[in-house]
Structure 1
Amino acid sequence: MGAEPSSDPSSVSPTSRRRCPHDPPCPAAEGADRDAAVVTSRHCDQGWSLLCNGVILFEDTGEILPTGRTVEPRRPLPRPGCVPRPPLPRRAAAATPTPV
């Protein structure tokens, strides 16, 4: 009796993984352009998507590669001119004159 195949994607060697069916083929998970791969499973409620190349892409641009290596988010920080201003203090309501 053979061993059951593992459903853990990190236990599958890259050479035994299915080839990308897309034309042109999706970028490799090791490439700098890996985020351009086709989304195969989207989980908007949880904030992540699975790409064709096996990369898990989070909405904050962080990633988990098929090897298990993590990539920190690459979202740009706000520019000084783009930082939202704090709300202005509320003005006191103007007193309305009362008739005499």
Structure 2
Amino acid sequence: MCQHEPHCPPADASDREAARPVAFRPEQGWTLLCNGVVLFEDTGALLPDGRAVAPHRPVPAPRRPASHRAPRSSRRCLAPAA
């Protein structure tokens, strides 16, 4: 499907989402890539062979334990004394 250089990653590659968009429908929430993958705004995808890829949003970083945080008094915004 991909006719440009360098060629885009195939639909079964782990970096398939790096392919160039050929159709973009933001009002409908999808983008067609030149490797035949349809990406959805929820980060899911539909592969050319009909397989679905579940949404894979990034997982937020875990919170640091309280012992690694700044002391509570240094986190407050104090108004200057008048």
Under a length normalisation based on structure 1, what TM-score does the superposition of the two structures give? Answer: 0.58
Moved over 4 A (4+): none
Gaps of 5+ in 2: 64-82
Distance 1:77 1:31 in 2: 22
How many percent identity over aligned positions? 56
Distance 1:53 1:23 in 2: 13
Which runs of 5 or more structure 1 residues have no equivalent in the other structure?
1-17, 82-100
Q: Is 1:58 aligned with 2:77?
A: no
SS at 2:17's partner residue? helix
Tell me, what secondary structure is at the counterpart of 1:60? coil
* CA distance in structure 1 between the aligned counterparts of 2:19 and 2:62, rounded to whole angstroms: 33
1:80 CA drift (Å): 5.4
Given candidates 64, 77, 85, the residue that maps to 2:59 is 77
RMSD: 1.3
Say how many residue pairs are matched: 63
Q: Out of 30, 53, 66, which is 1:48 matched to? A: 30
AA matched with 1:32? S
Q: Which moved more, 1:68-77 or 1:36-45?
A: 68-77
Question: Who is 2:12 aligned against?
Answer: 30
TM-score by length of 2: 0.70
**C-alpha distance after superposition, 1:43-73 (max 9, x if no partner):** 0001110000000001121000000000011
